[in-house]
Amino acid sequence: MHNINKIINLYKRIGKDIIGGIYQELQKKNSQDLKHRRRAISPKNKIIIYSLIVILMVTLCIGLMYYDMYSVIITTSETMLQIDISTAIMRSAVRISVRLSEFFAFNGIQSGKFINNPAVGSASQLATFRSDVRQYSLDIQNMYNELFYGGSRSSPLIGKYPRIDEIIMGLYKCENKTACETLQSVLSKFTVYSLKWGDDLWNLNFAKQPQVFFQYLELYNLTDEVLAKMLDLLKHLVNYTQSFSKALTACCFTVGLITLLIFSYLIWTEFRKHDMEITNLRFFLNFIPIDHLENNENLKNFILHHTLSTTNRSKQATSEDSITNLLSSMVDGAVLANEKGEITLFNEAAQKMFGKSLSDVIGLPFYSLFDPNKAEFLKKVCQQFKNQSDAVDKKHGDSFELECIRKNMSTFPSMVNLFVTKTGTGTKIISCFVKDIAMEKKQNSLLAEEKKNSDMLLRNILPESVAMRLKSGETFIAEKFNDITCFFSDMVGFTTISSDMNPSELVSMLNLIVNGYDALTDRYQLEKIKTIGDAYFCVVSSAECALHLFHTFTLGRFAINIFDVVRACNVENRQKYGHQINIRVGINTGGAVAGVIGKKKFAYDLWGDTINTASRMESTSLAGRVQLSRSTYERVYDLGFEFEERIVEVKGKGTCKTYLLKPHHHVSALSEEGVVELLVGEGSSLGAANATLHQQAVSSVALSPSPEKIILATGKETSKE
Q: What is the rounded distance in angstroms from the CA atom of residue 585 to the CA atom of residue 562?
A: 10
Cβ partners under 8 Å of residue 478, min gap 6: 593, 594, 595
Superfamily in which the 324-436 domain is placed by CATH: PAS domain (3.30.450.20)
CB 617 within 8 Å of CB 629? yes
pLDDT at 593: 92
What is the enclosing helix (H) or strand (E) of 111?
none
pLDDT at 680: 45
Which contacts qualify for 713-719: CB closer than 8 Å, 24 or more apart? 713/640, 714/638, 714/639, 714/640, 717/638, 718/549
Give the model confidence (pLDDT) of 277-322 as tens digits: 778 777 777 777 776 666 666 776 777 666 775 555 555 545 555 6
Instruction: Say how many CA atoms lie within 13 Å of 442 toward its Cβ.
Output: 5
Cβ count within 10 A of residue 626:
29
Q: What is the rounded distance in angstroms from the CA atom of residue 33 to the CA atom of residue 464?
A: 106
Q: What is the rounded distance in angstroms from the CA atom of residue 571 to the CA atom of residue 671?
A: 6
Q: What is the rounded distance in angstroms from the CA atom of residue 410 to the CA atom of residue 42?
A: 68
Cβ count within 10 A of residue 413:
16
**For the residues of 279-313, what is the DSSP string, one character each?**
HHHHHHGGGS-HHHHHH-HHHHHHHHH-----HHH
626-628 and 582-597 strand pairing: parallel
Q: Which of 273, 276, 303 is nearest to 14 (CA)?
A: 303
- The sign of the dihedral angle between the CA atoms of 543, 548, 552, 558 is negative
For residue 557, CA distances in Å to 161, 490, 550, 567, 586 come to 110, 17, 11, 16, 13
Question: Is it true that 68-110+121-247 and 476-720 share their CATH fold?
Answer: no
68-110+121-247: CATH number: 1.20.120
Q: What is the rounded distance in angstroms from the CA atom of residue 309 to the CA atom of residue 313?
A: 9
Q: Where are the domains of the chain?
A: 68-110+121-247, 324-436, 476-720
pLDDT at 619: 92
pLDDT at 618: 93
Question: Alpha helices, DSSP H only, in 285-387?
Answer: 290-295, 297-305, 311-328, 348-354, 358-361, 375-387
Give the model confidence (pLDDT) of 83-140 as tens digits: 888 888 888 888 888 877 777 766 656 555 555 555 555 667 777 877 888 888 888 8
* Helix 297-305 / helix 3-12 crossing angle, nearest 10 deg: 140
| Average pLDDT for runs of 10 along the chain of length 721 | 71 72 71 62 81 88 83 81 85 83 67 55 71 84 83 77 77 54 81 77 65 75 84 83 69 86 88 82 77 68 67 53 72 86 87 87 87 89 80 71 90 90 76 89 88 78 76 80 92 83 87 92 89 91 57 89 92 80 93 85 86 93 94 90 92 90 90 54 42 38 35 31 29
Cβ count within 10 A of residue 183:
23
CA distance between the termini of the chain: 102
| 476-720 is a CATH 3.50.50.60 domain | no
What is the enclosing helix (H) or strand (E) of 572?
helix 551-577
